């Protein structure tokens, strides 16, 4: 099953199934990420639009992309409920249909764990960012605690096969490979969730700022 087909199937029940984790782990990361949003904002792998209530009022425009048509439909419903104006497109985060330097903020939460190549995704997020703009990421990552790492290894060996989800990635470590520089980085308890802000690396010889 392709990733899009998997997420299409999950879309209707996603918010209900993740409600427990949402309250305990995901919501604080969404609030943190939203505080760092400004200007023309692209949210990649937008899912059901769970971040919209946190950041939409801070952005001057909101564009969302996702591989899954059903997830995009859920986002559209949430945006309508919130009275948020949004442009939604079906696209792969690794091949975004935007000109370079189109956005002030590119936001991605709980999705780099599921893309084929997180370096390619981060590189593409950086490409569409204007100089001085920010990539804002929050994700579940390999834990700093041995007991959680064991659980994550088991999940990677079982659940990951169907969902394509990786439980032992740590995207902040591959940020330099994507031509970006980490500006801010924080992790929660046991490093179950990590969040960071990255900016584009200046071109060689470019003046600072």
In the complex, residue closest to ligand SAM by CB: 47
Single out the residue of 63, 68, 105, 152 in contact with ligand SAM (rule: CB under 6 A). Answer: 68
Q: Which is nearer to ligand SAM, 26 or 199 (CB)?
A: 26
Q: Which is nearer to ligand SAM, 27 or 154 (CB)?
A: 27
Residue ranges in 96-115 that form contacts with ligand SAM under rule CB under 6 A:
109-111, 114-115
Count of residues touching ligand SAM (by CB under 6 A): 20
Contacts 24+ apart (CB under 8 A), 52-60: 52/78, 52/79, 52/82, 52/84, 52/86, 53/78, 53/82, 54/30, 55/107, 56/82, 56/84, 56/86, 58/34, 59/105, 60/104
175 near ligand SAM, rule: CB under 6 A: no
Distance CA 29, CA 138 (A): 6
DSSP state of 30: H
Single out the residue of 41, 47, 52, 104 in contact with ligand SAM (rule: CB under 6 A). Answer: 47
Q: Which is nearer to ligand SAM, 114 or 133 (CB)?
A: 114
Contacting residues for 129 by C-beta, under 8 A, at least 6 apart: 101, 103, 104, 105, 106, 135, 199, 200
Give contact residues for ligand SAM (rule: CB under 6 A). 3, 7, 45-47, 50-51, 65-68, 71, 92-94, 109-111, 114-115
């Amino acid at each position: 099953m392709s990733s899009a087909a998997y997420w299409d199937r999950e879309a209707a029940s996603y918010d209900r199934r993740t409600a427990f984790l949402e309250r305990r782990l995901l919501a604080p990361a969404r609030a943190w990420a939203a505080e760092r949003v400004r200007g023309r904002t692209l949210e990649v792998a937008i899912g059901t639009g769970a971040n919209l209530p946190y950041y939409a009022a801070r952005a001057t425009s909101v564009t969302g992309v996702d591989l899954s048509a059903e997830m995009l439909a859920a986002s559209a419903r949430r945006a309508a409920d919130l009275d948020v104006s949004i442009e939604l497109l079906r696209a792969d985060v690794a091949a975004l249909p935007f000109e370079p330097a189109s956005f002030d903020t590119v936001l991605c939460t709980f999705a780099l764990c599921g893309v084929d190549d997180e370096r390619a995704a981060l590189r593409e997020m950086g490409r569409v960012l204007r100089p001085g703009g920010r990539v804002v990421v929050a994700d579940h990552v390999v834990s700093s605690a041995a007991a959680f790492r064991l659980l994550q290894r088991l999940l990677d060996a079982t659940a990951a096969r169907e969902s394509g989800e990786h439980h032992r990635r740590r995207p902040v470590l591959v940020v330099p490979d994507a031509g970006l520089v980490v500006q801010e980085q924080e992790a929660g308890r046991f490093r179950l969730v990590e969040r960071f802000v990255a900016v584009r690396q200046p071109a060689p010889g470019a003046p600072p700022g």
